[in-house]
Structure 1
């Protein structure tokens, strides 16, 4: 696990660590207390990834507006 605060991570950093956390939890070879800590870290990492994806979606939406401020033919991404 990284010592980097989740709030300071890029999407890529958070996703990579989330994959590591999930892998460790799936193996089931960690003590209960560590599992809880990993789960909490994983939840924070998931939230960070979702937040960064939402920011990216909003930036893309802002870029794709026409001169009247209307969407220029692009639709929002499903599931975000």
Structure 2
């Protein structure tokens, strides 16, 4: 299953939606497995986006120090 290319905020919304579904506990094992895989992929994408943003901010501050 390929993780959709959501924006950061949309990915967070989807993760929250998946958590709600998981908390309900009324899905079958196969569907739960797919939801967990989807949430895991979304979390990885969010972490990656945060890392990239952090690097961009650090780079911007480093460039500002040289000026």
TM-score (structure 1 length as normaliser)? 0.72
Instruction: Give the equivalent residue in structure 2 for 1:56.
Output: 53
Q: Counterpart of 1:67?
A: 66
RMSD of aligned alpha carbons: 1.7
Aligned to 1:40: 37
Which contiguous aligned blocks of 4+ residues in structure 1 show a shift greater than 6 angstroms?
none
What is the CA–CA distance in structure 2 between the aligned matches of 1:59 and 1:23, rounded to whole Å?
A: 33
Q: Distance in 1 between matches of 2:18 and 2:44?
A: 14
- Please report how far the alpha carbon of residue 9 of structure 1 lies from its aligned counterpart in structure 2 after TM superposition: 1.7
Higher relative contact order (CA 8 A, sep 6+): 2
How far off is 1:26 after superposition?
1.4
Counting helix residues as a fraction of each chain, which structure ranks higher? 2
Extract unaligned runs of 5+ from structure 1: 69-80
